[in-house]
Each structure stands twice: as structure tokens, then as C-alpha cells.
Amino acid sequence: MANKTKFQAIKGTRDLLPPDTELWNRVEATAREVFGTFGFGEIRPPIFEPTELFARSIGADTDVVGKEMYTFEDRDNSSISLRPEATASVCRVYIEHGMHAWPQPVKLYYLGPMFRRERPQKGRYRQFYQIGAEVLETVQPGQGGPKDIPKDAAVDAEVIEMVMAFFARLGLEGVQLEINSIGHAAENCRRGYVQKLKAALEQVKDKLGPDSQRRIETNPLRVLDSKLESEQAIIAGLPKISEHLCDDCAKQYAEVKRQLDLRGVKYTENWRLVRGLDYYMRTTFEITARGLGSQNAVCGGGRYDGLVELLGGLPTKGIGFAIGEDRLILSLQEAGKGGAEAGRDVFVAWMGEKAQTSAIAAAQRLRAAGFRVELPPVEQKFGKALGQADKLGARYALILGEDEIATGQWTVKTLADGAQAKMSESEFLEKLKRL
Ligand code: ATP
Ligand code: MG
């Protein structure tokens, strides 16, 4: 007897189906278009990489690498992981393809699936999709340092402006941009701050939940990210990084804000905004949108100077972001912007052998002109054909019977109001184009 096991998509993964995929395609086409206008080119790295690439860049102590990565041993015993994000891959690509020799800065974007073994819920999946972009610039000998602050800040602001332009083009609603600076890893900057933060957290340790208690040791900055109601008042009283930034980081942050103002980009500052991945420094930002419940972040990003070097490349600056495409789509759908188009432009209802020849030819010409045409494979009574046209959401039924073939005058029925008229093929084409 045949095995009757019913297969199901693995927990945390989803099948995307029509008509929803129309919206996915529209979002992706819009991303390509908008990013293209900012001079970005598309990159398509593989979806798996050596595990070490993620461990070294994202940080072995982070949740992403420590608990969420899909890691497996390949047949040659090497350790491979499905990518949990793509910035590390983009940096590897930059090094591997000698992009430091390309005209600088190098501006790249990517689209595609990412994998993290998280608890599935609305807006959180184990295979999810990101749309992201990165700007990379190798520091030339004699360059870099404090004199680059205005330039870096303008690059940061333009990257943020680009995401906001993309969201505006899609008509995303309730978009809110939050920014922060998390300084850089030096004693007189973030490192000193984290020590103060740790000391302050030790004082209130008993009042914190188990996650935050653990993070005091592993990653104290992440405590600021806590959504736990009981911790909010305690966190409000902790030392703030803005009071501990070094001069250069403070200058850079002020300049980013000025550059955002110049571009008309609205933002709020959030001193508690830190990123979950280790490699970020200075500018960090997050964008939220409406209709998503507690998983309302649609984009996270920031600056990561030094990451390329950490992965074996030359000293290189980086800034980028990743948009959660699943959440972006959810928000558009919640706002009623996911409306799929009608299923077909034309349903060709034909009867009789001669009519089939004409129907095939008509369908070929209409499709070549770009219209979506349904041509039934066998003849149907007109009543049944019209019923099917209706079900498919067709705009017009083109009725081809003996009469129409003899006279060359097609019968066209508008399905929305049932109106029917006779017209030539060229008149029908004109009518379709006026849609
Ligand atoms: P979150 O705090 O929501 O877990 P994150 O800080 O882990 O987000 P990033 O690593 O910065 O997120 O990824 C950027 C964006 O990718 C997020 O803002 C979100 O929109 C999306 N994203 C991250 N993880 C998932 C997931 N498991 N399912 C769907 N989207 C996700
Ligand atoms: Mg996360």
C-alpha cells in the first residue's frame, strides 16, 4: 500500500502563493528601481557560507550565532550555515572579488531568504526574506580619521534617505525612523560606557528578569533593548551612551542629524536603540511601521567600519541596512495596499472548430501586446464560459462564434456591468489600452 503521509511545510516556513506573490514582486521591483536611482547594483551571494564567516562577524556570543543558526556538517566534514543575514556575505564578496579596486564607494543591494531558528509568530519566521543594501569604502593610505566625519555622515544620511524613499514609494503607513549612535569600541567611548552600564546593572540585578540578568555578563547593551514591562522604569534610570561618546563619535552623530535635516528626513532619537549584531558602531537606526503588533521593526541598520578588515580585508568602512520583507508586506496588506489586480484582462469564449483557430490567433496577438489572456483548451457553452470568466476576475470576455468569424466583428462583454458591444480587433485593442 502507498504511504499516505501528508507532507507539510516545516514549522516557521511558508509557501507564498498567488495573488500575494504579485505584491512580493511589486515590492521587489520597486526596491530595484529606487535603489538603482541611488546608484546601487544588485549582488546575489549564495545562501550558505562557512559557519566561521558568521561566527567571526556577527559574534559567537550573540543569539543569532549561538542559538538560531542552521548549521550542519557537509559531507567533507566542513561546517556550513544557512545565512542568518547577508552583510557578512557582502563583505566576503567585497574581499574575494577585490572590490577595493573598484570605483569607491561600492554600493550594493541584495534580496533573498535568510534563516534563523526563532519561535515562529506573526512577523517572525524561520525562513524570512530581507531586502538590504551596503555601502563599502576602503580607506586609502593617508585618508580616514576625523576629517572623514562629514563625508561618512552624509553617506549614512543618504542610505537612510534611500530606505525612506523606498517606503514612501510603496505607500507604507505609520513609518517611524529612530536613530542613535553607539559610539566605537574604545575606552573613552563605548567600552568605557559599557563598564559604567554594567556596574549600574549589577546594582539593580535583583529587579531584572532572567534574560537581562544573563546579558549583564554576555552583552549588557542588549538589556537596553528589553521589552519587558517590569524592567522599563529601571532601564529609564540607566546611564545613557550619548553622555559617553568620544568627541569624534559625538561630532559624527551631530552631523548625521544635520544631513538628515538637509534631506527632509524626519527622525526621533532613541538612546536605547542598540543592534543585535556585534559589528555595529556609531550610526544605528531602526524603522517601524503600522499594523505589525509587537514585531513592528521593518528595517534595521547601521555603520560597521572595520568589519571587512576583521574578515581579512583592507581597512574598510561600511554602512547598510536590512529590511524585513515579510513584515513590510504584512504592513502593506494590513493597510489595504496589497490589492492584487484582476485575474485576467481577457477571457476568450469560443465555440466551433473555425472559432478555435481564430481564438488561438487572437490570444497570441493579445498576449504579445502584454495582456493577460485565458484561452479555454476545449470549447464551452457561452453561458459556462462567461461564468468561468467571472470566477477568474476577467475584465472582458471576448466571444468568438460563427457570426464573429464571418463578419470580423468581435463581441466584447464587459464583465463588471454586463455591457456588450461589437467591435473590430483594433478597436478592442484600443479599448484594452485605455484601461
Ligand atoms: P527583531 O528585533 O525583530 O528580532 P533583529 O534585530 O533580529 O529584529 P535584524 O537582524 O536587524 O533584526 O534584521 C533586520 C530586519 O529583518 C528586522 O527589522 C525584521 O524586519 C527582519 N527580521 C529579522 N528576523 C526576522 C524573522 N525571524 N522573521 C521575519 N523578519 C525578521
Ligand atoms: Mg531578532
Question: Can the peptide bond before residue 377 be classed as cis, meaning omega within 30 degrees of 0?
Answer: no
Regarding the beta carbon of 299 and ligand 1, being less than 6 Å apart is answered yes
* Residue located nearest, by CA, to atom 15 of ligand 1: 324
Please tell me the number of the ligand nearest to residue 286's CA: 1
**What is the 117 CA–ligand 2 centroid distance (Å)?**
10
Whether the pLDDT of residue 153 is over 80: the answer is yes
pLDDT score recorded for residue 231: 93
Q: Specify the ligand 1 atom closest to the Cα of 123.
A: 29
Confidence of residue 63 (pLDDT cuts 50, 70, 90): confident
Regarding the beta carbon of 297 and ligand 1, being less than 6 Å apart is answered yes
From 275, 278, 298, 327, give the residue whose CB has the most ligand 1 atoms within 8 Å, as the site to mutate.
327
Predicted confidence (pLDDT) per residue in 330-352, tens digit: 999 999 887 666 689 999 999 99
Q: Specify the ligand 1 atom closest to the Cα of 298.
A: 20
CA 220, CA 210: separation in Å to the nearest integer?
Answer: 13
Regarding the beta carbon of 156 and ligand 1, being less than 6 Å apart is answered no
Confidence of residue 389 (pLDDT cuts 50, 70, 90): very high
**What is the 50 CA–ligand 1 centroid distance (Å)?**
22
**What is the 335 CA–ligand 2 centroid distance (Å)?**
24
Predicted confidence (pLDDT) per residue in 164-220, tens digit: 999 999 999 999 999 999 999 889 999 999 999 999 999 999 999 998 999 898 889
